[in-house]
Amino acid sequence: MTEQSAWVRMTQEDPEHSAAYVQRFRTLAGQGMDIVGEARLVDAMLPRGSRVLDAGCGPGRVGAFLAEVGHDVVGVDVDPVLIAAAEEDHPGPRWLVGDLAELDLPARGIPEPFDAIVCAGNVMTFLAVSTRREVLLRLRAHVAGDGRAVIGFGAGRGYEFDDFLTDASATGWAPDLLLSTWDLRPFTPNADFLVAVLRPA
């Protein structure tokens, strides 16, 4: 049986957790804050009309931007409250409830592989530890042969960067580019954030 994501446990302990998260980003958007930096990086990697999977999409801020600029977006998230908010705020992309550790989009009528998979907002650090490699394998199974994954998360959240890179290598990914920010600063040994651009090995 798939071990539950830490995010799900947090929502069970605090039933307001998801609604507060949705509201936080609605407020930032309403204030005109830039909440799409990750999406701009992904857009720069792709020709328009590309197929993008927003893995752990939450309320959809990243996938929504990518859809608006002309990509074909599918977003998957384990939290139904966040998916409902994505559907309400950003109609257009396909927003699906699902655990990334069980991701099987062909079984849900989406057989085509993705040109890019984006996993922003520390999603990797919320995964149950026992599912990390399974999630990376599932993402690998959904990427096109010349596609890429862009995965970003912070240090000090329980998933060491070296462990992540080992897991990625063990699950069929090779690093194309390692950054320390979504605005393209190079990764350094002391970086407190990792943005890994991975390709199928």
Q: Which residues bind ligand SAM (CB under 6 A)?
A: 5, 7, 56-58, 61-62, 77-79, 82, 99-101, 120-123, 126-127
Task: Select 73 or 127, whichever has its Cβ closest to ligand SAM.
Answer: 127
Q: Which residues pair with 117 in a beta bridge?
A: 53, 149
| Nearest by Cα to 7 from 80, 109, 113, 103 | 80
Kindly state the smallest distance separating residue 41's Cβ from ligand SAM, in Å: 13
Kindly state the smallest distance separating residue 77's Cβ from ligand SAM, in Å: 5
H-helix or E-strand containing 102? none
Kindly state the smallest distance separating residue 187's Cβ from ligand SAM, in Å: 20
The residue number whose beta carbon is nearest to ligand SAM equals 121
Q: Which residues pair with 154 in a beta bridge?
A: 193
Kindly state the smallest distance separating residue 166's Cβ from ligand SAM, in Å: 20
Task: Select 54 or 115, whichever has its Cβ closest to ligand SAM.
Answer: 54
Q: Which residue has the tokens 């999603």?
A: 123
Q: Which residues pair with 149 in a beta bridge?
A: 117, 198
Task: Select 33 or 201, whichever has its Cβ closest to ligand SAM.
Answer: 33
Decide: residue 96, CB within 10 A, 0-12 exposed, 13-18 middle, 19+ buried. Answer: middle
| Nearest by Cα to 3 from 113, 134, 122 | 134
Q: Which residues pair with 119 in a beta bridge?
A: 151
Kindly state the smallest distance separating residue 127's Cβ from ligand SAM, in Å: 5
> 46 is written with which tokens?
């792709």
- By three-state DSSP, how is residue 2 classified? coil
Which amino acid is it at 157? R
Task: Select 45 or 84, whichever has its Cβ closest to ligand SAM.
Answer: 84
Task: Select 61 or 142, whichever has its Cβ closest to ligand SAM.
Answer: 61
Kindly state the smallest distance separating residue 10's Cβ from ligand SAM, in Å: 9
Task: Select 47 or 107, whichever has its Cβ closest to ligand SAM.
Answer: 107
